[in-house]
Amino acid sequence: MPRRSYDHYCAVSRALDLVGDRWSLLVVRELCSGPRRYSDLFADLPGISTDMLATRLKGLEREGLLTHHRDGMRSSYQLTEAGRDLRPVLDALSAWGTPRLGDRKPTDAVRAHWLALPLGRAIGDLVPEGTVSVHIGDTALHFVLTPDGITHHDGPAPVADRELHLSLSEATEIAAGSRSLRDAWKD
C-alpha cells in the first residue's frame, strides 16, 4: 500500500506524514516505557484490530521509529532514538489533553501505565532529580528524573530514591489534575 502524504512542504505536515495515522502515536506511547511484545501491545490498545496493529508497526519500523527484535520464538518492538524523540510530543499532547479529559465514561478503557505522562509531570514538580517507583494497583513503573527531563520505564526501579503507592482512582485523579500528588505522597 503506498504511503499517504499531505504533500505540503511543512514540518508539521511531514511529522504527520510519519505519525499522524490513527493509532500510530498510541503505539509510540506504549513503547515509551521500553520494549513490548506484539501480544502486550495488542492487549494494551483496546479497540485496535490485529491487522491495524501489524500495519502500524510495519509503518513505524519502515520510517525508522521502532525496531523489531527477534530472538528465537520471542520477538519485541522497541523505539529507536528517533522514536524516543517523540516523547516530548506525547508529553505536550498529554499536557494539552489533561484538562480536556472530563469525567470517565463507563465505556472508556483505562490502563494504569497510560497515566505515566501526567504522573511524570506531577512527580517532576516535587522531585527535581532521582528515581521514583510508582505502584498503581498491580502495575509498577518507575521514573528517572534528570536535568535533561523525565523518562518512565516498566517495572519498579532496581534502586529508588522514593516510592509511591496509589490506587487506580487516586492515580487517575492526580493525572486529571483533580487531586494533588503532594496530598497522596506518603513519606
- Contacts of residue 119, defined as CB under 8 A and 6 or more positions apart, other chains included, come to 134, 143, 171, 174, 175, 181
- Strands (E) in 19-98, as ranges, are 66-71, 74-79
CA atoms within 13 A on the CB side of 92: 5
What percentage of the chain has pLDDT greater than the value 90?
A: 82
Residue 49 sits in the same domain as residue 95: no
Q: What is the pLDDT of residues 65-100, one digit of tens each?
A: 999 999 888 899 999 999 999 999 999 999 999 988
Residue 132 sits in the same domain as residue 163: yes
Residue 145 sits in the same domain as residue 107: yes
Contact assessment for residue 90 and residue 28, using Cβ atoms and an 8 Å cutoff:
yes
Residue 118 sits in the same domain as residue 171: yes
Contact assessment for residue 164 and residue 120, using Cβ atoms and an 8 Å cutoff:
no
Give residue 61's domain range.
Answer: 11-84
Angle subtended at Cα 123 by Cα 120 and Cα 125, rounded to the nearest 5 degrees: 110
- H or E stretch covering 26: helix 24-31
Residue 75 sits in the same domain as residue 154: no
pTM check: above 0.95: no
- 60 to 9, 50, 51, 139: CA distances (angstroms): 21, 15, 14, 27
Residue 31 sits in the same domain as residue 117: no
Residue 15 sits in the same domain as residue 63: yes
Residue 153 sits in the same domain as residue 93: yes
Contact assessment for residue 103 and residue 110, using Cβ atoms and an 8 Å cutoff:
no
At 111, which CATH number? 3.30.1050
56 found inside a domain? yes
φ, ψ for residue 141, nearest 5 deg? -145, 165
How many domains does one find in the chain? 2
Give me the pLDDT at residue 2, please.
53
Rounded to the nearest integer, the mean pLDDT of the chain is 93
